[in-house]
Amino acid sequence: MHVKGLSRNQIKYIVIMAMLIDHIAWAFVPTKSVQGVAMHFIGRLTGPTMAYLLADGFLYTSSKAKYALRLGIFALLSWMPFSLFEKGRWPTAHFGVIYSLLLGFIALWIWNNEKLHQAVKIAGIAAVLVLSTWGDWAYMDIFIPLIAFKFRDDEQTKWRGITIMCAVWAVTSFMGGIHQGILQSGILMVPLLLKFGYNGKLGSRHPFHKWFFYVFYPTHLLILVLIKYNTIRIFGSAIDLPWK
């Protein structure tokens, strides 16, 4: 029987491509150009969408410990590529989106632990939020999975909460300037894609789909860094390649 909408795997591949477009723009396209703003606008799909899907992963995984370990290993493997991509050096106190997703998973684990007192849960999530400031997407990748998981049986409240979070992110981004505000407003596509496009199904269970994002994330960052460094080495200052 044909199921309407997009599976979790299909959604992941869409946002992975959006991430690649975004990162190519950070590496090679001036941020304030029309092309740069458009590419970054598209790229706002990735982090929050992955965070939303994390709630599904937490709910359905057969082993939360293995899931967290997998996130932790690839967060560590992504540290150097992300630092080089973001700052042009390593080590730095800058970690990629897998680090943020790991913290989102830990927040879900804390919240779902019935043995913990409410005050302990709140303190634990507050600590996770502080740690998230060193990651990509910071607090968004903590709050979105928490909202998606807590209100998974209350669609109206869930989508209202996620939309508000995305709107706050977009509006506050205008404090960084008009170009920053416009490109960050791409995050408003996230609730639209997920509410009207995601059918809630996993799709194929082939291991390739499970591991692709984890491997692709650090690999594509390293490739972009190598291309960028070699372009600078060959052309020098003839080409404008600003660091993010």
Q: Is residue 29 part of a domain?
A: yes
Q: Is residue 243 part of a domain?
A: no
Six token digits for residue 157: 């409240």
Q: Is residue 1 part of a domain?
A: no
Q: Is residue 81 part of a domain?
A: yes
Exposure pattern of 157-184 as b/e (b: 16+ CB <10 Å)? ebbebbeebbeebbeebeeeeebbbbbb
pLDDT of 114 above 60: yes
DSSP string, 110-166: HHT-TTS-HHHHHHHHHHHHHHGGGBTTTTHHHHHHHHHHHTTT-HHHHHHHHHHHH
pLDDT of 3 above 70: no
Q: Is residue 103 part of a domain?
A: yes
Tell me the residue range of the domain where 96 lies.
8-238
pLDDT in tens, 64-94: 999 999 999 999 999 999 999 999 899 999 9
Please give the tally of structural domains in the chain.
1
pLDDT in tens, 157-204: 999 999 999 999 999 999 999 999 999 999 999 999 999 999 999 999
Q: Is residue 2 part of a domain?
A: no
Q: Virtual CA dihedral for 50, 56, 57, 61, nearest 10 degrees?
A: 180
Q: What is the pTM of this model?
A: 0.93
Q: Is residue 69 part of a domain?
A: yes
Residue 229: per-residue pLDDT: 84
3-state secondary structure of 196: helix
The share of the chain scoring above pLDDT 90, in percent, equals 87
